[in-house]
Structure 1
Amino acid sequence: MNHDSRLPDPLHAAHAPGADPLRDPALYLNRELSQLDFNFRVLAQAMDPQVPLLERLRFLCISCTNLDEFFEIRVATVRHSAQLCLTAAPDGITPGRLLELIHERSRELVDAQYRCWNEVLRPALAKAGVRIVNPRHWTPRQRRWLRAYFRTKVMPVLSPLGLDPSHPFPRILNKSLNVVVVLEGIDAFGRPGHLAIVRAPRSLSRIVELPPRLRGRDERAFVLLSSMLSTFAGELFPGMTVRGAYQFRVTRDSELMLDEDEVENLASALRSELPGRGYRPAVRLEIAHDCPRPIVRTLLQNFGLGENAVYYIDGPVNLNRVIQVYDLVQRPELKYPPFAPRQRLEDEDVFARVARGDVLLHHPFDSFAGVLELLKQAASDPDVLAIKQTLYRTGKDSAIVDALVQAARNGKDVTVVVELRARFDEDANLGVADRLQEAGVQVVYGVVGFKTHAKMLLIVRREGRRLRRYVHLGTGNYHGGTARQYTDLGLITANPEIGEDVHQLFQQLSGLAPRIRLQRLLHSPFTLHSGMLQRIEREARIAAAGRPGRIIAKMNALNEPQVVRALYAASQAGVRIDLIVRGACTLRPGIPGVSENIRVRSIVGRFLEHSRVYWFGNDGRPELFCASADWLERNLLRRVEICFPILDPELAARVEREVLHNYLADNINAWELGPDGRYRKCEPAPGQAPHSAQQALLDEL
């Protein structure tokens, strides 16, 4: 199944007099279904024989992890909408119907994931000497060793729970590995056996490597913990007969339900709320495909789920945990070739270099160390008076946080806006906030009701008799790990107008400042949405006047209805529009009379595409912006975001070449979206040379 493929007639009679034909639900794809389609494109990388084998395994695991988060957040949100009987989205699909479509499409994805694992990757890995050994293929020696391992390393930390009137069904933690065991016999207290639950503690490794003596020469062999739990469940119930052992996993709603208007201390409220997140209402049950129906019904009843929420799994229910094999097996020929990013600013006086002109960083092709060097030099420079920064995600053992702590200890005035509500990083960010405060940093938690997603760093430095501001603005987080895996852009500048804008933004975030007027930056929730609409409409006017109108935009997702309608109207006016949208896209391209001038493509490759770039032709005077925000409702209307211009003509040309035209030329990792909602893989045309945008940038190194 794909999106509803009915194509609208922009002039059909279904519209009431005066109705806007660009609001026709048939013009819009559904965001959730579009997001699911992205995971099919990720899975296609796992099936591609041109991708190194262990990287294919990594893509499979990424698609599984993405689906977990999709259920935890998106499906949970749709369930809430259905329960509240909320109205349909712009695509016209009601929340109740959408849940049905999501489960249908998700089953197709899950089936494809496990076919990829069972029929393609697992055999290919075994052929390459990396075996994940199924219990059916354990040798007697392996079975003896695994039984001993289970008894000495696993059993001591297990707490099996028999179900009876005094032992009701236990609370099952979100995404934890569990086994339901069917028992027969009488225990020591005379109680008849029926069902028991065995929960795998998080302290246990989900994959165990067999010792060299139990595997072939030049071979690595692994066994999944889920296989051991199912096989040796009888060890936990001596004197009883195990009639079956079936692994299962439940996925729960992971959205934190904080009424910020009623919260006096956000940090304290989050500390209280986080421990209960793992036990919120269930949204999905995954269970072994051979589990008897009565047991499935028992589990569904206990989790409050309907039949459509159960997924029968032919393999490990926690398939994403196989990613450990990628880290354990050091076989360079089975992975992408390593690369060393270009070194920028590491051996320079950063302030002197930026004073001469703006610096552009394109990660991961340019090293993130340049950003860290800027902050380190600021922390130790006696002329630096103040540092202000936003932190959304930083990663464990962050060198950025280390530098901020050192700056505070060196007597700088340091202010950090920490976004505590960064999804799944709330606990880590609470720890970061505590550490910064202990060092004397002024920590601000942003604005009630608006996540601070902007990426900004401001350094105030005394130079002679004046103060000068140095600024770093980025499309990605201050996170050293993702800077090696995501494509992002960063600008370091001493431009006075940009510096003043960023100063005002920090004043607005940390104080109770009124609405501000910025000179160069657009910012949500105030001017970014309207600023983008004005520029799209300007291109439409240019095209309507008979001159070339042109828009190229790159982002992670697109769903904001007003932006979509503005793009449709611009296309109708003759504007040529190219959209590079990695994930969900609710716009239908290629509809005659509506979007025939719009092309949408998605790039899925070695690195996660994360940069946001917006380019407008502007009648021969192009404007190019980079942003922390996608064209999503939440980014444009309910978050604190920034959108900054690249003013240096050479740097703007570099972004246009590297990030826009380079990706529009990709015919290896690109997928084109059709008017029917289907994505089709791009291939080189006859006589056309193959071109991978990411590989082209790596080759420049």
Structure 2
Amino acid sequence: MTDASSEIKPIDLNSSEYYINRELSHLQFNIRVLEQALDDTHPLLDRLFFLCIFSKNLDEFYEVRVANLTQQLVYAREQAGADGMHPQQVLNAIHTLCSTTVERQYEILNDTMLPALAQENILFLRRADWTEQQREWVRSYFEDSIQPLVSPIGLDPSHPFPRLVNKSLNFIVALEGKDAFGRETGLAIIPAPRSLPRIIRIPDELAGGGDKFIFLSSMIHEFADDLFPGMSVKGCYQFRVTRNADLEIDHDDTADLATALEDELHSRNFGEEMRLEVADNCPEELINFLLKQFNLEANDLYKVNGPVNLGRLMEVIGQINRPDLQYTTYTPGLPKHIKFNKSIFESIREKDVLLLHPFESFTPVVDLLREAAKDPNVKAIKQTLYRTGAKSEIVNALVDAARSGKEVTVVIELRARFDEEENLYLANRLQEAGAVVVYGVVGYKTHAKMMLIVRKEGDKYKRYVHLGTGNYHAGNARAYTDYSFMTCDDSIGEDVHKVFQQLTGMGEALRIKKLFHAPFTLHKKLIELVDRERANAEAGKPALIRMKANGLTEPKLIKALYKASQAGVRVELIIRGMCCLRPGIEGVSENIEVRSVIGRFLEHSRVYYFLNNGKDEIYAASADLMERNLLNRVETAFPIENNKLKERMKSELEVYMLDNCQAWILQQDGSYVRAQPAADQELVKAQSILLETLAASAG
């Protein structure tokens, strides 16, 4: 007879204890970014850049993620994820973590960054430090450039609290005395002119050497009395409110997506209030007054010891000519068979082209489109655009192609968050040139990165394809790590053609041979490939899964990875941002390692590798391992079948797994610990190795 107490309780992989909350995981990524500001292996101005990026990331987190959680509560649409946390619990945890982290950010600024910059004669001058000449210059700047643009608002029954723009710099002013009409309001608001820079460089002749800057807020503080003649300013305190900036479009009630989006863009600056940042020396009664005006609670308040928007510090980096304080420049590399005096079509016909940006140049991708635009044998071009840039060479080439009479079809994703206005402009420009512009599929963002060129060769048409893991944005290609793949493989060309058919036309899902295609096959195929590794392990065969992505949150895929781990499959995950999987749990995920690499470049490539009992398969993709990508977007994953290219990608994944300097290892509790090389270990920095290996010259 078996003792019931000795029976092993079966493991329920649906249990919330095995999943990390995605929002809290997202915050952990932002914390890793902030920690780069303390890493003196980065040049000083790049450390300042990381400090600024943390602020910008946190702004977007509140504008979108916190806004979403708050809306769930307001409209009683609470949704608990696989982690089981109620939205209110998540909001409470966010406040606790953000309060600590924002305080740390300002400590890094005041105690580390500003002193380090001062040592390099880069100073942000406080009012007490101005020389008499500098003060006179500031007064002139205030009178000539600030005062004519400022509209101070006294608060009284006829001047209610103004509706302030999202993330704008403002001041609450305590006043004493009567104005020209005999009013004693006691309070006023000064909105800082949005057209002015937030940090102003002092002319070199007044700086006394080095780089000297003054905050716009300091100038307004100094001369606030001039804005209220005859009254006395008793206190002037900066503040900023962050609003819900996520656009909501009712697809069921929208006849024209572009028009609906234009209407929504006007309201983005005035969404519901989510967060109040205020100078830490602001009196409590004024803070409480502001909280009341914005309908915010104490948990939505952040008192800061410095400028309320540290993201604006990024403005100064371009004004400082100190190459010794930034990463050295480099020339991206090119595969040997691609030459600038040779047709790119000829290069692709010779063999498939694989590029890893930014270590390798993005120019061949642009050249492919430029050459296609001019080539009389090219009859049609089809392209997806998600984030491209206002001055895009890609768009210029598409415009040229359309004007020369080629059949140009462009699928533009108008709803690419915070790029909507730019994409509307690009859509209009392409339409005016004669291109056919479509906005994808209602309810599904088009996130796939595809270019299809149809060229007449002899008496047949040949398809040339570019597929990528990143956007068609030349600037991003110098800052983000992404793969580009160019081929004229007939099957892949036909697959891409069919995906475009589905995007621009209507009909049932078409059978696709080589690509995995969300929202139809990608999710199912990934789980099948994970399950195949599990079956191999159970049969005593070698098994290995390596996946690189920006996020892993999809519960069914996580569950499949847990099962693979339980069967003995080694699972190695390189997840830059949010990850809901808990590694290292005995009996569940002890065979899983999750690491995040944060370095000079933003990791952005998506790669899926499966050992497949020695017949390894590797895919690059536009999709992260998240619900939205796998189930609610148009995405593609494409196979790399050339053995040399496969071996190359495998080795590039391997170097990320060996990184012991810029990798952070995910712990069971959702925190991350930075990898540390052992005393006898060689230092391994994945990005540095790839730069040395692939770039034509590295500084």
TM bin (shorter chain): over 0.9
User: Which amino acid in structure 1 is aligned with residue 460 of structure 2?
Assistant: R
Could you tell me which of 657, 679, 682 is aligned with 1:664?
Answer: 657
When the two chains are superposed, the root-mean-square deviation of aligned CA atoms in Å is 1.1
Is 1:57 the equivalent of 2:48?
yes
User: 1:618-655 CA distances to partner (integer Å, 9 max, x unpaired)?
Assistant: 11100000000000000000000000000111111111
Could you tell me which of 443, 447, 466 is aligned with 1:472?
Answer: 466
Aligned mates of 2:79, 2:198 — CA distance in 1: 43
Is 1:695 the equivalent of 2:691?
no
Aligned mates of 1:180, 1:138 — CA distance in 2: 24
Could you tell me which of 449, 455, 474 is aligned with 2:449?
Answer: 455
Instruction: Answer yes or no: is the 8 Å Cα contact 1:404–1:414 preserved in 2.
Output: yes
Counterpart in 1 of 2:24?
33
Could you tell me which of 625, 629, 639 is aligned with 1:631?
Answer: 625
Counterpart in 2 of 1:494?
488
Segments of 5+ residues of structure 2 without an aligned counterpart are: 1-6
Deviation at 1:12, TM superposition (A): 8.2
Mapping for residues 260-299 of structure 1, pairs under 5 Å: 260-299=251-290
Q: 3-state SS of the aligned residue for 1:152?
A: helix
Deviation at 1:197, TM superposition (A): 0.8
User: Which amino acid in structure 1 is aligned with residue 473 of structure 2?
Assistant: H
Q: 3-state SS of the aligned residue for 2:380?
A: strand
Deviation at 1:230, TM superposition (A): 2.1
Instruction: Answer yes or no: is the 8 Å Cα contact 2:390–2:426 preserved in 1.
Output: no
Instruction: Answer yes or no: is the 8 Å Cα contact 2:199–2:215 preserved in 1.
Output: yes
Mapping for residues 50-449 of structure 1, pairs under 5 Å: 50-83=41-74, 84-217=76-209, 219-343=210-334, 345=338, 346-449=340-443
Could you tell me which of 656, 659, 674 is aligned with 2:667?
Answer: 674
Aligned residue pairs total 684
Deviation at 1:513, TM superposition (A): 2.4
Q: 3-state SS of the aligned residue for 2:349?
A: helix
Aligned mates of 1:87, 1:72 — CA distance in 2: 19
Counterpart in 1 of 2:498?
504
Aligned mates of 2:300, 2:133 — CA distance in 1: 40
Aligned mates of 1:676, 1:72 — CA distance in 2: 26
Counterpart in 1 of 2:679?
686
User: Which amino acid in structure 1 is aligned with residue 134 of structure 2?
Assistant: Q
Instruction: Answer yes or no: is the 8 Å Cα contact 1:418–1:433 preserved in 2.
Output: yes
Deviation at 1:89, TM superposition (A): 1.3
Q: 3-state SS of the aligned residue for 1:593?
A: coil
Deviation at 1:149, TM superposition (A): 1.1
| TM-score after normalising by structure 2 | 0.97
Could you tell me which of 494, 505, 522 is aligned with 1:528?
Answer: 522
User: 1:438-482 CA distances to partner (integer Å, 9 max, x unpaired)?
Assistant: 000000000000000000000000000111000000000000110
Aligned mates of 2:146, 2:334 — CA distance in 1: 46
Aligned mates of 1:679, 1:347 — CA distance in 2: 48
User: 1:232-282 CA distances to partner (integer Å, 9 max, x unpaired)?
Assistant: 211100110001000000001111111011100000111111011100001
Aligned mates of 2:365, 2:620 — CA distance in 1: 17
User: Which amino acid in structure 1 is aligned with residue 669 of structure 2?
Assistant: D
Aligned mates of 1:120, 1:390 — CA distance in 2: 44
Aligned mates of 1:351, 1:513 — CA distance in 2: 32
Deviation at 1:547, TM superposition (A): 1.1
Counterpart in 1 of 2:3?
none
Segments of 5+ residues of structure 1 without an aligned counterpart are: 1-10
Instruction: Answer yes or no: is the 8 Å Cα contact 1:379–1:406 preserved in 2.
Output: yes
Q: 3-state SS of the aligned residue for 2:330?
A: coil
Aligned mates of 2:479, 2:211 — CA distance in 1: 27
Instruction: Answer yes or no: is the 8 Å Cα contact 2:431–2:437 preserved in 1.
Output: yes
User: 1:527-573 CA distances to partner (integer Å, 9 max, x unpaired)?
Assistant: 00001000001100000111111100000010000011000000000
Q: 3-state SS of the aligned residue for 1:23?
A: coil
Aligned mates of 1:387, 1:513 — CA distance in 2: 22
Aligned mates of 2:317, 2:581 — CA distance in 1: 37
Q: 3-state SS of the aligned residue for 1:447?
A: coil
Is 1:550 the equivalent of 2:544?
yes
User: 1:172-225 CA distances to partner (integer Å, 9 max, x unpaired)?
Assistant: 1001111111111000110113111111122101111112232233x1100011
Aligned mates of 1:526, 1:136 — CA distance in 2: 64
Aligned mates of 1:637, 1:136 — CA distance in 2: 57
Q: 3-state SS of the aligned residue for 2:331?
A: coil
Aligned mates of 1:85, 1:93 — CA distance in 2: 14
Q: 3-state SS of the aligned residue for 1:328?
A: coil
Q: 1:258 to 1:12 in 2, by over 3 A?
A: farther
Aligned mates of 1:437, 1:650 — CA distance in 2: 41
Q: 3-state SS of the aligned residue for 1:75?
A: helix
Q: 3-state SS of the aligned residue for 2:171?
A: strand
Aligned mates of 2:660, 2:151 — CA distance in 1: 53
Aligned mates of 1:693, 1:577 — CA distance in 2: 19
Counterpart in 2 of 1:4?
none
Could you tell me which of 597, 601, 604 is aligned with 1:607?
Answer: 601
Deviation at 1:140, TM superposition (A): 2.9
Q: 3-state SS of the aligned residue for 2:106?
A: helix
User: Which amino acid in structure 2 is aligned with residue 161 of structure 1?
Assistant: I
User: Which amino acid in structure 1 is aligned with residue 611 of structure 2?
Assistant: G
Aligned mates of 2:364, 2:398 — CA distance in 1: 15
Is 1:564 the equivalent of 2:558?
yes
Instruction: Answer yes or no: is the 8 Å Cα contact 1:231–1:245 preserved in 2.
Output: no
User: 1:335-372 CA distances to partner (integer Å, 9 max, x unpaired)?
Assistant: 00111111454332111111111000110011111100
Counterpart in 1 of 2:4?
none
User: Which amino acid in structure 2 is aligned with residue 72 of structure 1?
Assistant: E
| TM-score after normalising by structure 1 | 0.96
Is 1:483 the equivalent of 2:474?
no
Instruction: Answer yes or no: is the 8 Å Cα contact 1:251–1:283 preserved in 2.
Output: yes
After TM superposition, where is structure 1 displaced by more than 4 Å over at least 4 residues in a row?
none
Counterpart in 1 of 2:636?
642
Q: Percent identity?
A: 52
Aligned mates of 1:233, 1:12 — CA distance in 2: 72
Instruction: Answer yes or no: is the 8 Å Cα contact 1:193–1:240 preserved in 2.
Output: no
Aligned mates of 1:136, 1:655 — CA distance in 2: 56
Q: 3-state SS of the aligned residue for 1:165?
A: coil
Deviation at 1:138, TM superposition (A): 2.2
Deviation at 1:432, TM superposition (A): 0.2
Is 1:44 the equivalent of 2:35?
yes
Instruction: Answer yes or no: is the 8 Å Cα contact 2:411–2:437 preserved in 1.
Output: yes
Aligned mates of 2:510, 2:566 — CA distance in 1: 35
